[in-house]
Amino acid sequence: MNERIEELLAKYWEAETSLAEEAELKQLIRSAEGYTSEKELFGLLSEFSTEEPQLEMKPAGKQISFRSNWLSWAASIAILLGSVWGWRAYEQREAEKQAYEEVMMAFALVQTNLQKGRSQMQAMNDLKYLNTTNQLFENSIPK
């Protein structure tokens, strides 16, 4: 009998027993002497199989705790503040970019007008080497 119990236990722990062999194993263990740990195990298993499962059903309505409600509000506010900060930073960069472009256009206009003025002053450049006004007209007066 002990050999049959050992054989069935080995198959049981390897998960190779059929339902009939498991029923035989339980019956043999109950009637055999010793095997206290196996008797306790199979006794507990039989108790579990006879118990009715008790499911706790939660109400279908929403039950949001104060903590999760607070966290969702905090997350919403953080997202809102981040969006406002990001939009203001974007607007500031765009304003700086526009101001830079306007300054560069003003510099280009100044440079263009300076070149026009230099070209018009070329005639005055010729006069700077004369010492007096008489030298200017000396060659043009008939003698």
Per-domain boundaries in the chain: 2-50, 71-117
Residue 110's pLDDT is what?
A: 96
Contact 11, 28 (CB under 8 A): no
Per-residue pLDDT reduced to its tens digit, 52-74: 667 777 666 555 566 678 888 89
DSSP code for 141: S
Rg (CA), the chain: 52
Residue 3's pLDDT is what?
A: 81
Question: Does pTM top 0.85 for this prediction?
Answer: no
Measured CA to CA in angstroms, residue 109 lies from 95, 99, 104, 118, 120 at distances of 21, 15, 9, 14, 17
Candidate ranges 39-53, 56-70, 71-85; pick with highest mean pLDDT: 71-85
Residue 85's pLDDT is what?
A: 97
